[in-house]
A and B are shown apart, each in its own frame.
Chain A
Amino acid sequence: MMSRASFLVTLPLLAILSIGLVPLVTILAWSFWTWDPDTYWIKPDPSLAGYTAILAAGRWTVLLSTLHKAMLAAVLCLVAAYPLAYAIHFLAGRRMKLLLMAAITIPFFTSYLIRAFSWRLVLGRTGPVNTLLVDSDLVAEPLDWLLFSDFAVMVGLVASYMPFAAFPLLLAMRRVEPSFLAAAQDLGAGFWHIVRTILVPLTRSGLFAGFLFVFVMVVGSSTEVQMLGGAGASIVSVMVNDVMRVANFPLAFAISTVVLVVLFSLVLLGNWAFRLSRLFEDAAS
């Protein structure tokens, strides 16, 4: 007889396999097929053409710049989110804590498209930032590099994905035993000394998870680059869209495979090293 647990997980598992895993494994397999100009589709002749095409014509530079964007955004998000999580957990009073918790929860459920679009209005030539800079005589002319630039993309990415860093940090801080901090204080350690020798080591798993989440979300992002990037700006998801515009299936599948392999190895490695699932499960208990 089937156990109750396996009975309960059957349907969700089927959904995850059929619309999650199976399509991804299929395009992984199809990435080794050959483009067939007769049918505008692919045929089952083994080929590495998709993969060699990644190496050509500046495509691998997009992969590199995606990794670079993801790392920079992850670091910036941690720098901003660590004090935020600290303030929420250690400093805020009851009401303030609630308000701040709501403030970092809401962005998960609002539109990334609308938020990226609103940066376009803020950073534009006639937008409030440029108006302020010109009116206060800090610059003579409106700055053109504020919008449609790598700067704008980075600002948009940090604004979009910072909550993904704040949440694991907050969960990690909740697990810090307050008496450790108090003991260090009694022994005369200053604030920065405590942060460096106690808080950061104890919140390591949160720092790692925060970095990983932002990294993964940025590697998969497209909206911020489409809305805020300059001419020729790209990121892997946008590159996949460009490749699909000319229906180059093997190349699109090959890029997807590379991205998926990188992301899943990172997440599974992180889970193995830092027990991410425990961090989450704490949140759920």
Chain B
Amino acid sequence: MTRFEGSANLALIWTIAVVGLVVIYAPPFYLVAISLNPALQPGLPSLSDLSLIWYFKLASERGLLAALTQSALVAALTALIATGLSLLAALGHQELRQGRSAWFMTVILPMFVPGVIQGLALSVIFTRIGIKPSVLTVTAGHLLWAMPFAFIVILTSMSGVRRSWLLAAADLGAGWGRRFFDVTLPLILPGLISALLFAFLLSLNEFARAFYLVGRQNTLPIEMFGKMNSGANPTIYALSGAIFAVSILCVGLIVARQARLR
């Protein structure tokens, strides 16, 4: 079948699309490749010298591991709270008649606040009212960044809940709570899990928002930023590569799962 675009235009469209994707993906994949190079100087490894030596060396990087633990803790807290709040926000969105769009924008808008400004504003408020920087203050900074994404994912999964099913359940005498737990919840469970994972990754990788909110223990991106600027050691490549690979794997799994459900 020939398409109406014509082969020259098709070639142009695909070329730009592919160049766009290469710009997004080639550098981080290059980073992953050099993390497998045992040499100290960054460069592509030859296939015969592929090595995981820098990944093993990570085990002795105390500072990075402590930061990783801190980040994992913040990310887990952020994921749980953001998903819980977004679930309430999405259920409320369904119930609202008037003001639906306004509520939608209210949840989405914090995404557009620059990270540095949000972090700075929170940190001066916390300092003034005497809250010491901790895991919780960083979580507060990450929460509103993760919520819009979790909210959209949960809303999307709620569109799979047919109104007629809820009405049928109501006709059979199920109250709101019963309808939620027996009809809605099982149907949106995959969406909730996606929201959890997305929020976890957003928090794990967030850099600017945490900058003013961390206490004595840095989060991973802040610790890595310091190391990247003070003569990067190849373990940084390994850690970056590992984090990048895990992020891709998680999102890839979610997308693949959603495709199977369609």
User: What is the distance, in angstroms, from B237's C-beta to the closest C-beta of chain A?
Assistant: 8
Interchain CB contact under 8 A, B12 and A83: yes
Instruction: Tell me, yes or no, whether B207 is within 8 Å of chain A by CB.
Output: yes
Q: Which of A13-21, A43-51, A53-61, A133-141 contacts B (4 or more CB under 8 A)?
A: A13-21
Instruction: Tell me, yes or no, whether B201 is within 8 Å of chain A by CB.
Output: yes
In chain A, what residue has the closest Cβ to B43? A126
Interchain CB contact under 8 A, B31 and A260: no
Size range of the interface on A? 35 or more
Q: Which residues of A contact B105 (CB under 8 A)?
A: 271, 276-277
Size range of the interface on B? 35 or more
Instruction: Tell me, yes or no, whether A200 is within 8 Å of chain B by CB.
Output: no
CA distance A192 to B10 in the complex (A): 12
Q: Mark B10-47, 1 if CB is under 8 A from A, else 0.
A: 10111011011101111110110010000001111000
Q: Which of A1-52 contact B (CB under 8 A)?
A: 3-6, 8-9, 11-13, 15-16, 19-20, 22-24, 26-27, 30
Interchain CB contact under 8 A, A24 and B113: yes
Instruction: Tell me, yes or no, whether B165 is within 8 Å of chain A by CB.
Output: no
Interchain CB contact under 8 A, B120 and A244: yes
Q: Which residues of B contact A13 (CB under 8 A)?
A: 106
Interchain CB contact under 8 A, B85 and A109: no
Q: Mark B88-123, 1 if CB is under 8 A from A, else 0.
A: 110110011100010111111110111111101110
Interchain CB contact under 8 A, A12 and B114: no
Q: Which residues of A contact B201 (CB under 8 A)?
A: 109-110
Q: Which residues of B contact A274 (CB under 8 A)?
A: none
Interchain CB contact under 8 A, B95 and A5: yes
User: What is the distance, in angstroms, from B219's C-beta to the closest C-beta of chain A?
Assistant: 11
Interchain CB contact under 8 A, B255 and A128: no
In chain B, what residue has the closest Cβ to A285? B159
Q: Mark A152-191, 1 if CB is under 8 A from B, else 0.
A: 0001001100110010000000000000010001000001
Interchain CB contact under 8 A, B109 and A267: yes
User: What is the distance, in angstroms, from A182's C-beta to the closest C-beta of chain B?
Assistant: 9
In chain B, what residue has the closest Cβ to A98? B259
In chain B, what residue has the closest Cβ to A257? B117
Interchain CB contact under 8 A, B144 and A283: no
Interchain CB contact under 8 A, B17 and A84: yes
CA distance A256 to B255 in the complex (A): 37
CA distance A250 to B97 in the complex (A): 42
Interchain CB contact under 8 A, B117 and A278: no
Instruction: Tell me, yes or no, whether A263 is within 8 Å of chain B by CB.
Output: yes
Given contacts A118-B31, A283-B152, A284-B152, contact A113 B225 (CB under 8 A): yes
Q: Which residues of B contact A115 (CB under 8 A)?
A: 24, 27-28
Tell which of B13, B208, B211 touches A91, judged by Cβ atoms closer than 8 Å. B13
Given contacts A23-B122, A223-B207, contact A111 B244 (CB under 8 A): yes
Instruction: Tell me, yes or no, whether A269 is within 8 Å of chain B by CB.
Output: no
CA distance A30 to B120 in the complex (A): 13
Instruction: Tell me, yes or no, whether B243 is within 8 Å of chain A by CB.
Output: yes
CA distance A113 to B209 in the complex (A): 12
Query: Can you report 14 A-B residue pairs in the complex whose CB atoms are below 8 A from each other?
Result: A12-B85, A98-B256, A100-B21, A109-B198, A109-B205, A110-B247, A113-B207, A117-B31, A118-B30, A220-B114, A241-B116, A249-B124, A276-B105, A280-B104
